[in-house]
Amino acid sequence: VTNNRLRAALTAELIDPWFYLDANAFIQQAASSLLGVFGTDQTTSGEFADISTVSIAPRLRYRRGNLWSGETSLNSSFLSSNGTVSDSQTTELRARVNSGTAFGKLGWSADYYSEATRYSSAGAQVDSQKIDIGSSYRVAPKVRFLANVGFEEFESDSLSEKQSGTSWSLGALWQPTNRTSLQATAGNRFFGNSFGLNFSHRTRRTTWGLSYTEA
């Protein structure tokens, strides 16, 4: 069995420093059914489908002195297949604003994310969106307390009704040096408790990271 893959990526600075363009193309073979038996050599007893994905994402960056900065991106991706996998089109909108150094010990952020996927063969669609408002306060030179509140919703033709609800989390960020950070959070989303842990460390030649998420 031969499995070929092809990937191409492009990042362009169209108008530096505020307008950029990301583009990706990906071709691979995937199993047409999840019921196939997979072996250790990544073969399967089921049929394969050739899947092609193309995505284009313009990004806009903006800054207001030392008050705030942000970024907005719109990602449009298209998936096509010559097998039983349904063709689809996905649109993702991301927007984020962060506070600047003018706020001193206090920090804040606002995030919005939405995703809409349309499946051509089944005529189905999946929609989701999420809004988050975050804040932080520096209680010590190397420690910040974190708080977050938000709202999210999920809608699909496979569900009898829209799933939605509020979310919140509390945590702390420790940065002993400008190369090392440790962040831990705990909270609740509309479907249950959530936990997160992120550690990162940079050396002169390497970057190390550890992440754990339970939701």
Q: Tens digits of per-residue pLDDT, 112-155?
A: 999 999 988 767 889 999 999 999 999 999 999 999 999 999 99
Q: Assess contact for 183 and 173: CB atoms under 8 A.
A: yes
Query: What secondary structure letter does DSSP report for 44?
Result: B
Query: Using an 8 Å Cβ cutoff, are 135 and 107 in contact?
Result: yes
User: How far is 123 from 128, CA to CA, in rounded Å?
Assistant: 17
Q: Six-digit token pair at 77?
A: 């991706």
**Residue 159 DSSP SS3:** coil
pLDDT at position 84 is 64
Q: Round to whole Å and give the CA distance between 79 and 59.
A: 21
Higher-confidence residue: 29 or 199?
199
Query: Residue 31: pLDDT band by 50, 70, 90 thresholds?
Result: low
| pLDDT at res. 38 | 47
Percent of the chain whose pLDDT exceeds 70: 89
For residue 160, pLDDT beyond 90: no
pLDDT mean over 47-51: 77
* pLDDT band at 52; cut points 50, 70, 90: very high
pLDDT for res 36: 52
> Helix or strand or coil: residue 81?
strand
First to last CA, the chain: 37
Residue 83 pLDDT: 65
- Residue 109 pLDDT level (bands cut at 50, 70, 90): very high
pLDDT tier at 40, thresholds 50, 70, 90: very low
Give the C-alpha separation, 78 to 26, whole Å. Answer: 10
What pLDDT is attached to residue 78? 94
Using pLDDT thresholds of 50, 70 and 90, give the confidence band for residue 37: very low
User: What is d(CA 86, CA 24) in angstroms, rounded to the nearest whole number?
Assistant: 20
Where is pLDDT greater, at 43 or 161? Answer: 161
Is 61's pLDDT higher than 60? yes
Using CA of residue 191, residue 196, residue 97, residue 66, what is the dihedral sign?
positive
Contact (Cβ atoms closer than 8 angstroms) between residue 37 and residue 44: yes
Q: Is the peptide bond before 17 cis (omega within 30 degrees of 0)?
A: yes
Q: Say which amino acid occupies 165.
A: G
Q: pLDDT grade, residue 82 (50/70/90)? A: confident
Residue 41: pLDDT over 50: no
